[in-house]
Amino acid sequence: MLIKHVRANDPSSSEITPRSVFADRRRLLKAAAAAGVWALAPAAASAAKPARGEPIPNVVKWPKSLPEMPTAYDLATTYNNFYEFGFDKDDPARHSSKFKPRPWTVKVEGHAEKTGTFDLDDLIKPHQLEERVYRFRCVEAWSMVVPWVGVPLGDVLKKFGPTAKAKYVAFQTVLRPEEMPGQRLALLKWPYVEGLRLDEAMHPLALLTVGMYGELLPNQNGAPLRLMLPWKYGFKSIKSIVRIAFVENQPPTSWNIATPSEYGFYSNVNPRVDHPRWTQATERRLGDPFFSPRRPTPMFNGYADEVAHLYAGMDLAKLY
């Protein structure tokens, strides 16, 4: 298989972190220095220009992609949230070079007819891959447009034959503190976990992603396997997945565990429900000129026609 081996008005660090974590940052810095771990303070300079990844040939273009201009590759690969590699936006690009995305296996368990540990090459075949240009919206009120390469998540999940008891799908990120220095600190409870209702996971927009910009995923963007859920805030699109479980009850999720008053299970993009510390009604697009006005944020990040029916009758202010 071919799948081998900052800008003005961006949010401050205090806006992109749970209040309890930010308030304790000085202690974490001291602990990091004492342990010989990289410092969490902002870098004096931005990350070096990222190396381009291995091209993925013969990718089919998805006909429903957004007609918008994609965000510059250099921005999309150096301005990231991936706390396993650090606190600041450029930390993932600066601290992920030692991460080894190959070989890679995924453990599938729970209420399904077929379970076990599967090589990534057996889960996703090259002829299945397609490129989809999706709008990506982070909870801190910044956004980008990225051409992702992957396969519909539902197509992969169906292969395992979820049973009638499977109501949710739980996901887990790899735990490798020797390669992911952020996991050496108590920024979150590791490993990172996420979850979806089964009907959300089966929705055609949910993408199991192995590449971006026609190339394999860089380490800092979730190599070698991540989710892309364009109607939800970015932290729901879990990275570097090693476990998928079909479960009966709503699974725990990392940011809901850390700060339940700020990060709910569903985390749908909703401009009418503000984060406790900033508005969600508008956003900054990465790469916009300095004096550009903020953009209005559309409901479900612009995918309401496709996904609104999943939440019919729900109070999305309470079930945020």
- How confident is the model over 197-256, as pLDDT tens digits? 999 999 999 999 999 999 999 999 999 999 999 999 999 999 999 999 999 999 999 999
**Integer angstrom CA distances of residue 183 from 15, 35, 42, 237:** 21, 13, 18, 18
Please give the Cα distance from 148 to 98 (Å, whole number). Answer: 23
pLDDT of residue 44: 31
- ∠ at Cα 38 (256, 54), nearest 5°? 80
What number is the average pLDDT over the span 288-303? 95
pLDDT of residue 11: 44
The CATH code that applies to domain 13-311 is 3.90.420.10
Q: Does pLDDT of 38 surpass 50?
A: no
Q: Tokens at residue 272, please?
A: 């009418």
At residue 193 the predicted structure's pLDDT band, cuts being 50, 70 and 90, is very high
Please give the Cα distance from 152 to 40 (Å, whole number). Answer: 36
At residue 48 the predicted structure's pLDDT band, cuts being 50, 70 and 90, is low
pLDDT of residue 35: 39
pLDDT of residue 3: 45
- Top pLDDT among 239 and 291 is at 239
* Cβ-based neighbour number of residue 50 at 10 Å: 17
Q: Which of 1, 22, 8 is nearest to 277 (CA)?
A: 22
Q: Is 153 left (phi over 0), alpha (psi -120 to 50) or beta?
A: alpha
Q: Does pLDDT of 72 surpass 60?
A: yes
At residue 80 the predicted structure's pLDDT band, cuts being 50, 70 and 90, is very high
Q: Which residue reads 């929705």 in tokens?
A: 203
253-260, Cβ contacts within 8 angstroms, sequence gap of 24 or more: 253/193, 253/194, 253/195, 254/188, 254/189, 254/192, 254/193, 254/194, 255/18, 255/188, 257/188, 257/189, 258/18, 258/20, 258/21, 258/188, 258/189, 259/18, 259/19, 259/20
| Cα 15 from chain centroid (whole Å) | 18
Question: What percent of the chain stands above pLDDT 90?
Answer: 82
Please give the Cα distance from 178 to 200 (Å, whole number). Answer: 34
What number is the average pLDDT over the span 249-274? 97
pLDDT of residue 9: 42
Radius of gyration of the chain from Cα atoms? 19
Asked if residues 193 and 171 have their Cβ atoms less than 8 Å apart, the reply is: yes
- For the chain, the average pLDDT equals 88
> For the chain, which residues make up each domain, given as ranges?
13-311
- Top pLDDT among 2 and 281 is at 281
Q: Tokens at residue 166, please?
A: 């499977």
Sign of CA dihedral 221, 243, 203, 56: positive
Asked if residues 184 and 37 have their Cβ atoms less than 8 Å apart, the reply is: yes
- Sheet strand arrangement including 105-110: 116-119, 105-110, 241-247, 168-173, 193-197
What are residue 229's phi and psi, to 5 degrees? Answer: -120, 90
**Cis ω before 103 (30° cut-off from 0):** yes
Q: Does pLDDT of 30 surpass 80?
A: no
Q: Which residue reads 């991460």 in tokens?
A: 99
pLDDT of residue 215: 97
Please report, as a single letter, which amino acid is at residue 290: F
Summarised one tens digit per residue, pLDDT across range 87-123 is 999 999 999 999 999 999 999 999 999 999 999 999 9
Q: Which residue reads 């995305």 in tokens?
A: 101
